[in-house]
Amino acid sequence: MRSTLVDPFEDIPRSVVVTANDYAAGSTFPAHSHRRGQLAFASRGTISVATPEGRWLVPPRRACWVPPSIEHAMTMSGKVTMLNTFITRDEADAAGMPSRCCVVGVSALLTQLLEEAVDVPALYDLDGRAGKLMSLLVAEIASMPELPLHAPLPADPRLARVCRRVFDTPSITISLDEVAADAGMSRRTFTRMFRSETGASFAQWRQQVCLLAAVARLGEGQAVTRVAMDLGYASPSAFACAFRLATGQAPSRYLEEAGRAS
């Protein structure tokens, strides 16, 4: 991706800045980067984040951490309310923030801190209540657990091209022989290179891509049966089983939670 530097808050003499914005369904941000790290919290709706290393899916009430200077693109599924926390590199390093992109859970305390911090003036008093609020906010962000909502993108251009096609039209029925032929490789060579570059088999990676697509579609309010059929599962029950194994909850329960967050 060709990256554009976006620095709307770089010159504010505060290490932490929090903003809130509403976006229409389908809104996109082409590849860009910030000198600050960004925590993008999906207060409403679902956000897809893409970097040269892979894709991350941010369901409602979760967040994605994008380290400083990492180029990334964003796409909104459904109407999205995004609360962004921009953190300087020094502050992020001091807090022990991850050096890679990741989706994280969001505690009730972190949600309250974010909602409170949105109303803090840009030039807040570092030694006053606002300064303490921002310090607690960063500490709480750093303590959040990572969630398995990521599918890596191989560096090899042949593998990456095939994987992008699967990202665009995910299906559990896409075969190893099909993608190997598309990449111009033997089955054996494709299997070896794919595991070397992603750390997973193609079947495991395909399952994860379908999970990300399912989470996005359920977040938009699509019916479980429609999602299961669109992704090529033999039945809604087969899809539900795979979804429960990956997320720990049934798709119907996830759909209910997404509806409450919207």
Q: Could you tell me the domains of the chain?
A: 4-147 (2.60.120.810), 153-261 (1.10.10.60)
- Answer left, alpha or beta for residue 248, where phi above 0 means left and psi between -120 and 50 means alpha: left
The first and second tokens of residue 104, run together, are 């994280």
pLDDT of residue 7: 57
* pTM of the complete model: 0.84
Identify the bridge partners of residue 98 per DSSP, sorted by sequence position.
Answer: none
d(CA 233, CA 50): 25
Pick from 97, 130, 174, 94: nearest CA to 14? 130
Half-sphere exposure of 244 (CA within 13 A, CB side): 11
The first and second tokens of residue 81, run together, are 């309310």
Pick from 126, 111, 132, 123: nearest CA to 44? 111
- Among 110-119, 166-175, 212-221, 222-231, the minimum mean pLDDT is found in 212-221
Half-sphere exposure of 48 (CA within 13 A, CB side): 25
The first and second tokens of residue 153, run together, are 């993108």
Banded pLDDT at 1 (limits 50, 70, 90)? very low
Pick from 52, 67, 47, 35: nearest CA to 1? 52
The first and second tokens of residue 142, run together, are 């750093």
pLDDT of residue 215: 86
d(CA 111, CA 107): 6
Q: With 90 as the cut, is the pLDDT of residue 59 above it?
A: no
